[in-house]
Amino acid sequence: MEESSEHLKVAIRVRPILEIDKVQDTAVYLNENTIQVTDSTHMVTSSYDCVFSSDSTQQQVFEYVKKGIEGVSRGFNCTILAYGQTGSGKTYTMFGAEWESNNPAPQVYYQNRIPRPVKKTLPINTSKIGIIPSSILHLFQITKGKPLTIYCSFLQIYNEKIFDLLQNPNRDKPLSIREERDNGIFVENLAEYVVEKAEDCIFLLKQGDRNRVVRQTRFNHHSSRSHTIFQILIEGDKANKRGALKRAKMNLCDLAGSEKFDKEGSMVKDHIQEMNSINKSLTTLGKVISALAGNGTGHVPYRESKLTRLLQDSLAVNTRTILIATISPASIYVEETLNTLKFADRAKQVMVKVKKNEISATNDQLVAKLQREIQHLKSLLS
């Protein structure tokens, strides 16, 4: 059985200076592994698996995560997280530039677990798209013709509540997390669509993203306060031979903004509630990363938040995990930038066990093996 141990991969991406920043650089790209951040009193230099400068392209970032995506088609789980303060480029990195528009939600409904044709396919500009659509395109390309079933789902965690972004997005009743021996951790009643073509999958991704916007306006959410997880699940043919892919999960997470909110500000009740729950999921993620970065024997508080509970079986455990920490180069954000780097520093100490999810010997194969052994022993006796 293929198994290995590796470091959690951590990359930093610096976004370009935007007009709203109005100030000069504070985070400076030194080379492909090193970043330097200077504030009024000191200078911090830190190294990572990869540092993407503000000139980096979407393709370069995708090349970096590509190996993880390819592993999924062979049975290795993969989780990719975008972490950083609001406005630092998480959504740009995960979804891409063309995912920013506030399009109205289309009135299209889907049936659970049934493949659906694409209504209309727009040409995909691969130079602009982020990690999620690029991963989808690549995954479908490399699994073409293989006896696999691919499912996708898309959810949002807001205020410690889980909402389906693909089916009944306006439903007020949140979904709950379940765990089963065979299926691992999953969200009960979350729509999982069978997707046969990359275009169908991207269509669903866009649909879910529009629903995210609708939910936001309806409940006055802001994307920076919610986490989204787009999940792709691949299942092999059960009749496959031993050693073939059984199932593999890919979690693509656009996390809520990591900035600290101003507690003293004029904050209405809703906002305080939001702030607390965001802090809960992100704080717990921080605690989980810290616990995993320790000696590995301590308690890992996965159950303390929805985000970490959902990722319990796919965050560093049996999963290739890649963190992309996004930062702004502007000096007004230096404090948040340093906090993001601190989180990234802890994450890079985490060791990840990576194991292939493969079909093990079936009962029939075991029985046959035991019968052969009995025969052998009998022949020894006589």
Is 37 within 8 Å of 210 (Cβ atoms)?
A: no
Known binding residue 88? Answer is: yes
Known binding residue 294? Answer is: no
CB of 364 to ligand ADP, least distance (A): 50
| Residue 88 interacting partner from ligand ADP, Mg ion, none (CB closer than 5 to 8 Å by kind) | ligand ADP
Structure tokens, 66: 């590509």
| Residue 71 interacting partner from ligand ADP, Mg ion, none (CB closer than 5 to 8 Å by kind) | none
Known binding residue 86? Answer is: yes
CB of 20 to ligand ADP, least distance (A): 9
The position carrying tokens 């409904």 is 109
Known binding residue 87? Answer is: yes
| Residue 329 interacting partner from ligand ADP, Mg ion, none (CB closer than 5 to 8 Å by kind) | none
- Per-residue CA distances from 96 to 120, 124, 247 (Å): 20, 11, 28
Structure tokens, 339: 């906090």
Distance (Å, whole) CA 93 – CA 189: 29
CB of 95 to ligand ADP, least distance (A): 8
- Which residue in 151, 154, 141, 134 sits closest to 310, CA to CA? 154
Give the residue closest to Mg ion by C-beta: 91
Q: Which residues bind ligand ADP (CB under 6 A)?
A: 15-16, 18, 84, 86-92, 97, 224, 257, 326
SS3 state at 150: strand
The position carrying tokens 């503000």 is 54
Q: Residues 6 or more apart from 26 whose CB is under 8 A from it?
A: 37, 38, 39, 329, 330, 331, 333, 334, 337
CB of 167 to ligand ADP, least distance (A): 24
Give the residue closest to ligand ADP by C-beta: 89
Known binding residue 228? Answer is: no
Burial track 47-71 (b if 16+ CB lie within 10 A, e otherwise) = ebbbbbbbebebeebbebbbebbbb
| Residue 87 interacting partner from ligand ADP, Mg ion, none (CB closer than 5 to 8 Å by kind) | ligand ADP
| Residue 15 interacting partner from ligand ADP, Mg ion, none (CB closer than 5 to 8 Å by kind) | ligand ADP
**Which residue's CB is nearer to Mg ion, number 292 or number 325?**
325
Q: Which residues bind Mg ion (CB under 5 A)?
A: 90-91, 223
| Residue 226 interacting partner from Mg ion, ligand ADP, none (CB closer than 5 to 8 Å by kind) | none
Known binding residue 130? Answer is: no
Q: Taking the CA atoms of the chain, what radius of gyration do you get in angstroms?
A: 22
Structure tokens, 56: 């980096």
Which string of DSSP letters, residue by residue, matches 54-66? TT--HHHHHHHHH
**Which residue's CB is nearer to ligand ADP, number 99 or number 302?**
99
SS3 state at 344: helix
CB of 336 to ligand ADP, least distance (A): 11
**Which residue's CB is nearer to ligand ADP, number 227 or number 249?**
227
Known binding residue 236? Answer is: no
Please state the residue numbers annotated as binding site for ATP: 84-91
Annotated binding residues, written as ranges, equal 84-91
